[in-house]
Structure 1
Amino acid sequence: MSVTDAKMTCNGGTSAPLSAPVKAGENVTAVWKQWTHAQGPVMVWLYPCPNGFSNCDGKGKNWFKIDEMGLWGNNLNSENWGTAIVMKKLEWSSKIPASLKPGDYLIRHELLALHQANTPQFYPECAQISVQGSGSGMPSGQYLTSIPAYASQSDPGVTVDIYQGGRTSYTPPGPKVWTG
């Protein structure tokens, strides 16, 4: 899958009959049955659905990141990555920003496997959440993007050889995290 593939939005998923209630400021935890790649970032995105889930397709420049973890430390071919945590725990928890405006949202968890040089593997999945609270915050401008195409295929966070010597840092692709 490339960054422009239509399945990047929600891996081909569509509206479901279920949604999970969550209070702004609380954590949402995604669970995997298995994960086998220790090198790559974890990114968590939200997309507002002001007209309900049945009409919400994730199209347009309304996606924003609420969490990410790339590399910690300076060894790209180590297991010091967000996906290594998923591999160990088979879950990832992210805080819904406390100031977020209540409403229906798609939440998208993306694991980006970088274990093969210059051959990124994208694993996006979405769920539906109904955020409760009294906040009024919504990101704008530089925090918003479209999925697919939140980054170019040549973005250094997408196409990277983690085994190439000399590189000591990594920045996940896409806009910065919005925390409210």
Structure 2
Amino acid sequence: MLAASLIAIASLFVGQAAAHGGVTSYVIDGTNYVGWSPYNSASGQRSIGRPYSSYDPIMTTSAGSFSCNNNGQASGGQLSAQVRGGSKVVAKWNQWTHAEGPVMVYMAKCPGACTSANSNSLDWFKIAETGLISGTLAKGQWGNGLIMKDLAYTATIPSQLADGEYLIRHELLALHQANTPQFYPECAQLILTGGGGVNPPSRYKVRFPGAYSMTDPGVRVDIYSQQAPSITTYQIPGPAVWKGESS
């Protein structure tokens, strides 16, 4: 009986891991960087990715882990990738199974070295997003569908952005369960040079947790409602994408 129970529990965890996914590597201007491996021991891992423990979703916008899917801290072997303004950052997932929902990419400047910065205390601004591309809420093409197809998403570091140390945050919001959003954020550390000296205005900045509410129109979504087959618009949560303008 005990053995059967342990097998059932193990199967449950395997099923949960298989159902979701997370960013596990990055390609920046053609250079590959190892991301975090959540199901391996943290000991000895050296990665530009901030640590996170599993592929399980965050189920509430008020979670203390909402910024980077962890306690806000860097790992013991934390690395940072060197980037330049205008660099392309390709985040790669090893698996992803939810087609409905948006992809969002944020950055936050650290007050000094990012390795000593808590991601919950930083001001985040959005640099890219893909929501409902075509069709309706019920039967549409979404940003998450692109992740299912390519297991990758490319964002460009704004060329106008000021030099410094930054966190970059990739977030998938899965909407496949009616009014039960699932959030999947992961972060990595960057050191930016060759930028344009501009800091985004405060109206573009938010904090995690705090930027979203569970009742926001882009968060509380029922793609199976009677109205969903006729709705062709979707409001992506969070601030507008910063396109390089100064205050």
Q: TM-score, normalised by structure 2?
A: 0.70
Listed as ranges, the matches of 1:139-154 within 5 Å are: 139-154=200-215
Runs (5+) with no aligned partner, structure 1: none
Greater mean deviation of Cα atoms: 54-63 or 66-75: 54-63
- Which residue does the alignment assign to 2:164? 103
Deviations 1:134-154 (A, max 9, x none): 411111222011111211110
Deviations 1:55-109 (A, max 9, x none): 2112336110000010012411235111100110001110000100011101000
Listed as ranges, the matches of 1:81-120 within 5 Å are: 81-120=142-181
Share of identical aligned residues, percent?
A: 48
Q: TM-score, normalised by structure 1?
A: 0.95
Distance 1:39 1:147 in 2: 22
Match of 1:83, SS state, is helix
Segments of 4+ moved more than 6 angstroms: none
Distance 2:122 2:191 in 1: 20
Given residue 126 of structure 1, which amino acid in structure 2 is its aligned partner? Answer: C
Which structure carries more relative contact order (alpha carbon 8 Å, separation 6+)?
1
Aligned length: 180
Distance 1:122 1:15 in 2: 20
Question: Does 2:74 match 1:15?
Answer: yes
- Which residue does the alignment assign to 1:167? 231
- Which residue does the alignment assign to 1:176? 240
Deviations 1:18-40 (A, max 9, x none): 11111111110111000000000
- Which residue does the alignment assign to 1:3? 61
CA contact (8 A) 2:110 2:122 kept: no
Q: Which has the larger radius of gyration?
A: 2
Return the structure number with greater helix share.
Answer: 2
- Which residue does the alignment assign to 1:26? 87
Distance 1:123 1:45 in 2: 13
Given residue 156 of structure 1, which amino acid in structure 2 is its aligned partner? Answer: P
1:9, distance to aligned residue in structure 2 (A): 0.7
